[in-house]
A and B are shown apart, each in its own frame.
Chain A
Amino acid sequence: MSLFSQLAEKPWAAEQAAIDDLHSGGEFTLPAPQVGLRVFLGFASVLFTLFIVVYVERMVFSDWHALPEPWLLWVNTAILVFSSAGLQWAWVSADKNQADGVKKGLYVGGVLAFAFLTGQFLVWQQLVNMGYYASSNPASAFFYLLTALHAVHLLGGLVAWGRTAVKLQNGLSMAQLRGSIELCAVYWHFLLVVWIVLFGLLLFT
């Protein structure tokens, strides 16, 4: 771990100073927004992990009644996979400087993300109609809470996506757009992984 190995340096020593004077001052080659996104993903991972830990802890109590799994959730999962794929397409196209691919990928990704959110909302309605309220059992309460939290994260992503789409409309160059598109794509993949973990948790409990 290079970050940790630096801790052994003696900043006052002459030999070390000769090396340090050449240091650029940055730790990582990635641009700042990329580092920022990764720090945020670390924060979000801790958040979801804690929810999952609490979920498992709460599950062992005797009043837990597992939820049914509406088939719509499988459809939503597929939609989110394609949404993520769309943004990946945009990212790859941006690297190859193909404006057409960027546009298509970005729009496909965004529209499918909205479709996913609508689908999630329909799942909520189905469950409520079946009598599974947040207050009726911790299993359903957790389901609403975790899906809502995931949806809020995705909505936040859609704000960033919207800004990128506006930039695209305004005709910014690929080089200027590439960073934003990469941020969106990485974030989408992260949320896809989170969703798959959450969905798996629901299926297996």
Chain B
Amino acid sequence: MAIEVKQQKNGVIHLAIQDEMTIYSVLEQKQELLKYLKTAKEVQIDLADVTEIDGAGLQLLMFLKQEALAAGIKLSLSQHSKAVVEVFELLHLSNHFGDPIVISADWRTS
């Protein structure tokens, strides 16, 4: 399963996406994630294991944010992987999502 439910308590759901977020995977991921958004009050998504993200993946994240805002759900992204951070920086999107990004020291070496 590409999306793992790490914790679910009092309407707060903690998910981890453990796959690339690309045009090849977004369809499945969207259906899955939207399901959680419909039930939960708060959604936290761990992006640590998103090894690759492209435009479609980014669009999916934007979509989730938009849905969450519309439904009054708190959506937070955490543990951004290197790939995600790179895309966020490329598009100056960190502010858009508003989540603190922790930049791991060992990324810089690569």
Same complex for A and B? Answer no
